[in-house]
């Protein structure tokens, strides 16, 4: 199974989650600015982005990237994860809805979120998410 773990992180919290997902998936975690692959060639993709501003995806790199691939994820397994500082996780629910509307299979039915630094429990969940993604 061809899989990728692509993320954006400003503080390192989402990066830590990405590394845990990648470990579980047996893949490499790649920042969105360094990703040079082709989404169409992948069967499964894990995407990580923290909540920014008014509970939105980071808008200078990640949102344009996701918008660019949104039409190419139909039929693919997609896993979502990210961290936040405040709010109630609305950014993740909106993102989940976008993934489902694009025709992708949302792994585990929901994304994994961490309030600020991910706990050991959250990192374990991320590893399990990666394993499920790679199945």
CB count within 10 Å of CB 64 equals 12
Dist CA 122 CA 103 (whole Å): 27
What average pLDDT values come out for the chain (135 residues) when binned by 10 residues?
Answer: 90 98 96 94 96 93 97 96 93 97 96 97 98 94
* Residue pair 96/80 in contact by the 8 Å Cβ criterion: yes
pTM for the complete prediction? 0.96
At 1 the pLDDT is 55
């Amino acid at each position: 199974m061809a899989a990728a773990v692509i993320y954006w992180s400003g503080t390192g919290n989402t990066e830590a989650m990405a590394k845990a997902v990648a470990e579980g998936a047996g893949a490499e975690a790649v920042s969105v600015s360094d990703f040079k692959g082709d989404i169409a060639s992948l069967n499964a993709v894990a995407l990580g982005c923290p909540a920014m501003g008014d509970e939105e995806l980071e808008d200078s790199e990640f949102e344009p990237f996701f918008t660019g691939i949104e039409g190419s994820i139909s039929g693919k397994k997609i896993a979502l994860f990210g961290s936040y500082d405040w709010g109630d996780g609305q950014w993740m629910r909106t993102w989940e809805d976008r993934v489902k509307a694009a025709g992708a299979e949302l792994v585990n039915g929901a994304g994994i979120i961490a309030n600020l630094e991910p706990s050991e429990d959250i990192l374990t969940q991320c590893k399990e998410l990666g394993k499920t993604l790679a199945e």
